[in-house]
Amino acid sequence: MKNWWKILGVLLLLYAFVAGLLIPLKPGLLGVEPTILEAGKPVTLNVEGYNTFLLSQKAGLQAWLVRKDGKLLKPTKLDVTSETQLAVSFNLPPKESAPSVVDTLQLVLDNPQDGHFTRTVFVKQGTDSLATAATATWANEQVQLHESKGLAYPFMINNYESTRNLFYHVPMWFAMFIIGIAAAIVSGIYFYKRDSKHDLRAEALSKMAMTLGLLGLVTGAVWARHTWGEYWSNDPKQVYTAIGLLIYGGYFVLRSSFEDPEKRARVSAAYNIFAISTLFPLLYILPKFAAESSHPGAGSTSTFSTVDVDNTMRMVFYPAILGWTLLALWVADLSYRTARLRDKLLDS
Amino acid sequence: MNLFSQILYLLQKEITLELRQRYAIGGILLYVLSTVFIVYISFQHIGPQVWNVLFWVIMLFASVNAVMKSFVQESGYRQLYYFQLLHPVSILLSKMIYNALLLLVLGGLTFAALSFVAGSPVKDAGTFALALFLGSLGFSITFTFVSAIAAKADNSSTLMAILSFPVVIPVLLLLVSLSAQSIGLLGGDDIGDKISLLAAVDLILVAMGLVLFPFLWRD
């Protein structure tokens, strides 16, 4: 089987598309109204869920307000109105911290089927301290939280369904880097073999690296518009991609300015290697300047492995990188072969 | 002749040539002065942050113009002559050293001219001088190598800009932030970090240039 890697690439991408689009998100809470509560007063929270089955799983459903120190408050009333909507009432005890401090509480919902999910609410000093509900206190109680059963991607505030972009946009960027390095290596091989085959191959790979970079930039920009609010936010990884595109732009202009194929091959190979080698120092430099990067792994953002990506996502993410890389190699191979045929036709 | 004396001879030749045809260096000096003046009359008041960016942008464009000629001006016959006599490494190194010296002078002149019309916001002169030195070195290494590439093509002046700008970005980023620190725009105690990073980038670039040039230069 000579073409096993092409089949593998297509299968991996099919898997990435099917699994990436069909596996649901874990249930989560879209919003809680009101989010700022007054201490010492009864309150009813209107909760809106996403992918939740509150009505069907009403039997095991439980809700608490949980403080930072782990003490919790049970609701006085739990009223499920639909699969995604619920009203839950609490008698908030008076504040124990200083009046000026705003406490952070977690509203936790739990049921045996879908596991637990949370949303943050804040508590400030009530305006009218006389209305204190004397009966309510924080209980020091241990409860058993359930974990979600079945295959699902994590629910992330702001990202929601666009979390799935991890399987399409991020691997394109990885693949661009891999293909770009491969192109530089092939350029290096050209110097030792002096065979125009390697030059054409390097050109085909560079074309694919540029295509992947463009696709990655566009998919990333569309995604960023929805989640970060801007198409372009001067993020290190956006800058690498932009510089990568500039390098390949220069590479193709350089190639087109030579008539003699041997000279073109030699000069463009030298530029390709020199230019790519400047991307590596940049990997260390740029994140230093971007104290606040929205991409994972830079600045104050937590890295991939810690919170954002769980094993379910990794199960699709890594195959997707390999899939995009193999697909790009296949396209590069085709474009290399057409270039070879064109050369042969012109020679004969 | 060993490598070192080859480099010395070539350096001597570069300087003699430069002094003999004064139009080239005179043109570049005039280029810097007129750019500074244009910038000054368009901005009127130049704050420290703008000053910092303007300085390096003027340096960038002046350097590209100054270094561009280093391989373009050499005729094919003279290349053939060098090819028989000298090691390629000594040719590239001598040009890099010569251009670094030229850019250092150019940087000093830009600094003097910009400070004369707009005042100098530099507080830590040592750091700024070091940034200027490492910057001249980095610009010279990058642009000399790219000029060797661009000289092989016909439309070398366009190529020079589009090929060298993406490559010089790492150096430029470090320079702008290093000199921002010397002006006091940027806090932090990582000056030593940045200097060693800049030196490392210069080193990588010169190493890549030296490895690739022997393949590149002979036609």
User: Does one domain contain both A33 and A96?
Assistant: yes
Helix (H, G, I), strand (E, B) or coil at B187: coil
- Same-domain status, A182 and A253: yes
Preferred mutation among B134, B139, B149 to probe A, highest tally of A CBs within 10 A: B149
The pTM of the full predicted model, rounded to 2 decimals, is 0.82
* Beta-sheet pairing, A115-124 with A36-38: parallel
Nearest to B166 among A250, A281, A286 (CB): A250
Residues A226 and A278 in one domain: yes
pLDDT for residue B101: 94
Contacts of A247 in chain B (CB under 8 A): 166-167
Of A246, A271, A272, A276, which to mutate for an interface test with B (greatest number of B Cβ within 10 Å)? A271
Per-residue pLDDT of chain A (348 residues; tens, 9 = 90+): 788 999 999 999 999 999 888 888 888 888 888 888 887 778 888 888 888 888 877 777 888 888 877 788 888 888 888 888 888 888 888 777 777 777 888 888 888 877 777 888 888 776 655 555 556 677 777 777 777 777 777 777 777 788 888 888 888 888 988 999 999 999 999 998 888 899 999 999 999 999 999 998 888 888 888 877 778 777 777 787 888 889 889 999 999 998 888 889 999 999 999 988 888 888 777 766 655 445 554 433 334 444 455 777 888 889 999 999 999 999 999 999 999 999 889 887
- Residues A207, A325 share a domain: yes
Residue A19 lies in a domain: no
Shared domain for A127 and A214, answered yes or no, is no
Do A99 and A217 share a domain, yes or no? Answer: no
- Residue A241 domain-assigned? yes
Range of the domain at A64: 28-131
Name which of B134, B211, B215 to mutate to probe chain A: the one with the most chain A Cβ atoms within 10 A of its Cβ.
B215
Q: What CA–CA distance (Å, rounded) separates A84 from B53?
A: 53
pLDDT tens-digit profile of A224-262? 888 777 787 777 777 878 888 898 899 999 999 988 888
Residues A264 and A304 in one domain: yes
Q: Report the C-alpha gap between B135 and B140 in whole angstroms.
A: 8
**Of A322, A325, A320, A324, which is closest to residue A309 (Cα–Cα)?**
A320
Within this chain, do residues A187 and A323 fall inside the same structural domain, yes or no? yes
Q: CB distance B170–A253 less than 8 Å?
A: no
The HSE-up count of residue B67 (CA atoms within 13 Å, CB side) is: 37
Within this chain, do residues A164 and A118 fall inside the same structural domain, yes or no? Answer: no
The tens digit of pLDDT for each residue in A92-121 reads: 887 777 777 778 888 888 888 777 778 888
Q: Which of B155, B169, B212 sits opposite A270 (nearest CB)?
A: B212
pLDDT at position A315 is 85
Asked if A267's CB is within 8 angstroms of B149's CB, the reply is yes
ipTM (interface predicted TM):
0.88
CATH number of A112's domain: 2.60.40.10
Query: Are A85 and A223 in the same domain?
Result: no
For A223-253, b/e burial (b = at least 16 CB within 10 A) is bbeeeeeeeebebbbbbbbbbbbbbbebbee
Contacting A with CB below 8 Å, chain B residues are: 145-146, 149, 152-155, 158-159, 162-163, 165-167, 169-170, 173-174, 177, 190, 197, 200-201, 204-205, 208-209, 212-213, 215-216, 219
Full pLDDT tens readout for chain B, 219 residues = 688 898 898 899 888 888 888 888 888 889 999 999 999 899 888 888 899 999 999 999 999 988 888 887 777 788 788 888 888 889 999 999 999 999 999 999 999 999 998 888 888 888 999 999 999 999 999 999 999 988 888 778 888 888 999 899 889 988 998 898 888 887 777 788 888 889 999 999 999 999 999 888 776
Number of domains in chain A: 2
Token pair recorded at residue A102? 């705003």
Asked whether residue A251 falls in the same domain as residue A177, the answer is yes
State the smallest CA–CA distance between residue A251 and chain B in angstroms: 7
Residue of A nearest to B151 (CA): A267
